[in-house]
Structure 1
Amino acid sequence: MLFPTLHRGVLLARRQRFLADIRLDDGREILAHCPNTGRMLGYSRPGLTVWASERTTAGRCAWTWELAEVGGSLVGVHPARANALAAEAIGAGRIPALAGYAEFLREVRYGAAGSRIDLLLRGPGRPDCYVEVKSVTAADEFELGIFPDAVSERARRHLQELQGVVDAGGRGVLLFCVQRADVLAVRAASEIDPAYARALQAARRGGVEVLAWQCAVSTCGIALHRPLPLLA
Structure 2
Amino acid sequence: MEVAARYLPSGRSVLVGGDWYDSIPLPASRTLLVMGDVMGHGFQAAVAMSQYRSLLRTIAASGAGVDEILGELDRQVTHLGLDRLATCLLAVMDPRAGTCTLASAGHLPPAVVRPGGSVEVVWFPAGPPIGTGLGGYESLTVRMDRGTTLLLYTDGLVERRGTDIDVSVQALEALSLPADGPLEGMLETFLALVANGAYEDDVAILAARQRDEDEDEDEDE
Same fold, judged at TM 0.5 (above) = no
Which has the larger Rg? 1
More strand by share: 1
More helix by share: 2
Structure with the bigger RCO (C-alpha within 8 Å, sep 6+) is 2
